Amino acid sequence: MKKVLAYQMISEVFKTLAHPLRIQILLTLSEQERCVCELLREIGVEQSNLSQHLRILKKQGIIDSRKDGQKVFYKILLPSVMDLVIDAKKTLNDQAKGHEELYKNLRSI
């Protein structure tokens, strides 16, 4: 039963990351802490949409926020999450290589 709970928790992390906008937010925040106004400008989405995704990432404990006057700043709380993003990019590169070889093999038939 404990293993099932662990699997569910791992699954929740992947569910949280399973949206392109959240990945974009994390990649932007990996450079440095940003205020919402900077994220809006750099990512180019509606504030309500950005706020929804920031809330999901924060609820999972991946990012955190702090208020400075009227501005709210976000930062990555768990830098290890970027390892998952980098590994996903590596996996995509590996997949692309696999398709390229398959394509070459098909052409040789």
- Residue spans of the domains in the chain: they are 2-78
pLDDT tens-digit map of 34-90: 999 999 999 999 999 999 999 999 999 999 999 999 999 999 999 999 999 999 888
Count other Cβ atoms within 10 Å, centred on residue 77: 15
> Could you tell me the strand order of the sheet in which 63-68 lies?
34-35, 71-76, 63-68
Residue 90's pLDDT is 84
Pairing of strands 63-68, 34-35: unpaired
Question: Is pLDDT at 107 greater than 60 in this prediction?
Answer: yes
Rg, Å, the chain Cα set: 18
Residue 61: which region, alpha, beta or left (left: phi > 0; alpha: psi -120 to 50)? left
Question: Is pLDDT at 16 greater than 60 in this prediction?
Answer: yes
Span 20-47, average pLDDT: 96
CATH, domain range 2-78: 1.10.10.10
Estimate to the nearest angstrom the gap between the alpha carbon of 71 and the chain centroid.
Answer: 23
